[in-house]
Amino acid sequence: MGRRRTVLATLAVLLATATAPPAGAATERRSERFVASDGVALQTTLTGQAPLVARPTIVEFSPYGRDSGTFDAGPAYNHLLVQLRGTGDSHGRFDVLGPRTQADLAETLGWACKQPWSDGRLGLAGFSASAIAVYNALHLELPCVRAAVLKSGTHELYRDLLVPGGVQNIVPGAVVLTGIGGIALAQGLQRDPATAADALLGLLRSGTEVLQHPTLDGWWRERGYRGNGNPGLPVLAVAGFSDVESRGAFEGYRALRDDGAHLLVIGAHDARPAGTDGGLGEMRAWMDRNVRGIDNGVDDHPRVQLWLSDGDRASYAKGRFVRRDATDWPVPGTRWRSLYLDAARSGSATSLNDGTLADRPAQRPVRQRYPGLVSVPTMTDVPNAAILDAAGASALTDALPALGDMRLAEPLGLSYTTPPLARDLVAAGPAALELDLATTAPRAAIWAVVSDVGPSGIPKPLGVGRLSTDFPDTDPARDRTDADGAVVQPYGRYDRPRPATPGTSRRYRVELWPLGNRFRAGHRLRLHLVGTSLASVPDLPGLNTVTIGGAGGSRLLVPELPDPAPASPAPACRSRRTVTVTVPRGDRRRLRSATVTVGDRVVARLTRTRPRARVDLRGRPRGTVRVRLHLRLADGRRVVRTQRYRLCAPRRG
């Protein structure tokens, strides 16, 4: 039976390949303007193998002008690049991926679905800004979209890129706006002169609006994920552990995992490991399976695939990494190790205090001080340093290694170091720092860096946590806790600042973006407390005082993966089945609402205009599952229709 299934799958792939245009065929391009409902014209460019006939179409929405597509799914697809309003050749005003841009996505997709070059099957691609645009618009119904590949991108634009921890991350925002504006001005020489002023005004307003909203208010909430109006849409979230937007992909996966999302952590803005394809094969397979319907086995791939560094980011980029796969994120079985900040000297650091990280808090509290000065981004700002390295700055840090590690930053801050590790520590997951701190400044940024210290004694930075002292509060309903109730991923409240009284100590919970590294046996893990990176808006200089030890002492919570499970000689059968649930035609005109449930969980919501959804039954054990369609009709009646499906059952005949 397994052989028969393999043969059928092979035939399906061969048939799809036979009907696809030859790889060497000529490419045809077609430019066309789509007019949105408010009358603004958006520039689109369609590319595909000649002649341009109806094919599955990959759509990407970009603010970076012509030829800025980031994903080639292969010759079996057409590719449509849409330049966002107010950018490139498109008219209108850029609104920082806000409500009007989000409406453009839904309207453009509805138009694209009906064009003669589309066969009605659309896939969404995005990288960074084009991925953010999709995350922001997912609450809308996106017509004809069968799948999405979103590389990097933010789940919440405020906390995942521009104001992480309530600290203005000014350099990435300025670089993005400068890039968008420069391209718009360059291409504006060919635009309708009547639209140039509108585009320029939109770009100027975008820069000022970000600065005018220092707290997470309604303006920012409109520029984040607000739910999924496309139940059952399979999304492949792609990122790297050092990426400038890494948090977004992890949180995007978690928000969409019940709809079949997968997570691929191999590299995005940060460098991919040498000798790998950076996930391109997985991304293409994802589209082939979910857009074209090819049974290529991607359904059986691990839901979470991780490429971790093995001591430092430089060797990761050169091809030295650790692989782990998992069924979810955070990885099931992860244990968060509490490492308490201790005044005892480690004898390994050149910091102001040379403290240690211990398994239990010291009995007596101790205060230690460091100046709140600015620090060099290539040393202390891992997300921003990684994007610079990938853009070519690694040549500088290779020539001058001290610019890429913590040796020069360490003497101006505090540090806390473990003894040499007795065994490998594979750390993958969100981390947190609980810190008692006072500052003499009106406001300060707590800047925490985690590094790997090898036998050479050089601290290699791997992860960072940032928090403005204006925001000491978290949302208990959204804090992520471990089995013991410890907050291992605090969800900061950035909507209501509560400035500290200068000189008064209080407790802060600092979120560190997900770590992904193997600390080898004999290496040390080090925590640094230093001044704000120059890539962020600096605060007034001040003296920061940290209290460590005593009851409830300051501590770092580090995620530790469980040892890999031994291979099973004969794994139990797991379902590979997906089914489509459809509202019967006779009920559609009378339909008020509909939900699909599997067990007690709602897996899809249907409407008259979206009467069907795919239900993912993959990974379930052998047995029978009941899928129920709950209809609420206009006359008030409620109807439940039940369908039973056998999983892992032998095929008849």
Spatial separation of the C-alpha atoms in residues 346 and 299, rounded to whole Å: 49
**What three-state secondary structure class fits 55?**
strand
**What three-state secondary structure class fits 579?**
strand
Q: What is the pLDDT of residue 566?
A: 64
- Residue 157 pLDDT exceeds 50: yes
Q: What is the pLDDT of residue 589?
A: 84
Instruction: Mean pLDDT check: name the lowest of 207-221, 242-256, 485-499.
Output: 207-221
- Residue 391 pLDDT exceeds 70: no
- Residue 9 pLDDT exceeds 90: no
Spatial separation of the C-alpha atoms in residues 248 and 255, rounded to whole Å: 10
187 pLDDT tier (thresholds 50, 70, 90): low
1 pLDDT tier (thresholds 50, 70, 90): very low
Q: What is the pLDDT of residue 91?
A: 92
Domain 574-647 coded CATH 3.30.70.20: no
With beta carbons less than 8 A apart as the criterion, state whether 517 and 308 touch.
yes
- Residue 53 pLDDT exceeds 60: yes
Instruction: Mean pLDDT check: name the lowest of 94-98, 157-161, 378-382, 572-576.
Output: 572-576
- Residue 267 pLDDT exceeds 90: yes
Instruction: Mean pLDDT check: name the lowest of 205-209, 289-293, 339-343, 492-496.
Output: 205-209
Instruction: Mean pLDDT check: name the lowest of 294-303, 417-426, 632-641.
Output: 632-641
Q: What is the pLDDT of residue 572?
A: 67
Considering the chain, tell me which residue range(s) the CATH 2.60.120.260 domain(s) occupy: 335-560
Structure tokens at 143: 């017509």
Pick one of 2.60.40.10, 2.60.120.260, 1.20.1730.10, 3.40.50.300 as the CATH number of 335-560: 2.60.120.260
pLDDT mean over 130-150: 97
pLDDT mean over 503-511: 97
pLDDT mean over 549-558: 94
Pick one of 2.40.10.10, 3.40.50.2300, 3.40.50.1820, 3.30.465.10 as the CATH number of 27-326: 3.40.50.1820
Spatial separation of the C-alpha atoms in residues 410 and 438, rounded to whole Å: 20
pLDDT mean over 429-446: 97
**What three-state secondary structure class fits 582?**
strand
What does the pLDDT look like over 598-631, one tens digit per residue?
876 778 888 888 888 888 888 788 778 889 898 8
Spatial separation of the C-alpha atoms in residues 235 and 124, rounded to whole Å: 9
Strand partners for 417: 356, 526
Question: Rounded mean pLDDT of the chain?
Answer: 89
184 pLDDT tier (thresholds 50, 70, 90): low
pLDDT mean over 518-544: 95
Torsion, Cα 532 533 537 542, to 10 degrees, reads: 20
With beta carbons less than 8 A apart as the criterion, state whether 279 and 307 touch.
no
Spatial separation of the C-alpha atoms in residues 15 and 19, rounded to whole Å: 6
Considering the chain, tell me which residue range(s) the CATH 2.60.40.10 domain(s) occupy: 574-647
- Residue 22 pLDDT exceeds 50: no
Tell me which residue has tokens 């958006």: 42
pLDDT mean over 438-464: 97
Buried b / exposed e over 272-305, threshold 16 CB at 10 Å, is bbeeeebbbebbbbbbbbbbbebbbebbebebbb
3 pLDDT tier (thresholds 50, 70, 90): very low
Q: What is the pLDDT of residue 593?
A: 83
Q: What is the pLDDT of residue 396?
A: 74
**What three-state secondary structure class fits 570?**
coil
Q: What is the pLDDT of residue 612?
A: 86
Q: What is the pLDDT of residue 13?
A: 31
Q: What is the pLDDT of residue 23?
A: 46
Q: What is the pLDDT of residue 651?
A: 54
15 pLDDT tier (thresholds 50, 70, 90): very low
Strand order in the sheet with 638-647: 601-606, 591-598, 623-633, 638-647
588 pLDDT tier (thresholds 50, 70, 90): confident
- Residue 335 pLDDT exceeds 70: yes
Structure tokens at 275: 């000798």
Q: What is the pLDDT of residue 290?
A: 95
- Residue 394 pLDDT exceeds 90: no
Q: What is the pLDDT of residue 565?
A: 65
Spatial separation of the C-alpha atoms in residues 142 and 233, rounded to whole Å: 10
Considering the chain, tell me which residue range(s) the CATH 3.40.50.1820 domain(s) occupy: 27-326
With beta carbons less than 8 A apart as the criterion, state whether 615 and 577 touch.
no
Share of the chain above pLDDT 70, in %: 91
Instruction: Mean pLDDT check: name the lowest of 47-56, 86-95, 305-314, 500-509.
Output: 86-95
- Residue 571 pLDDT exceeds 70: no
Structure tokens at 474: 């978290």
Spatial separation of the C-alpha atoms in residues 153 and 246, rounded to whole Å: 8
What is the dihedral sign for C-alpha 457, 459, 462, 463?
positive
What does the pLDDT look like over 300-327, one tens digit per residue?
899 999 999 999 999 999 999 999 999 9
- Residue 125 pLDDT exceeds 80: yes
Structure tokens at 387: 């994007």
Structure tokens at 559: 């995620």
54 pLDDT tier (thresholds 50, 70, 90): very high
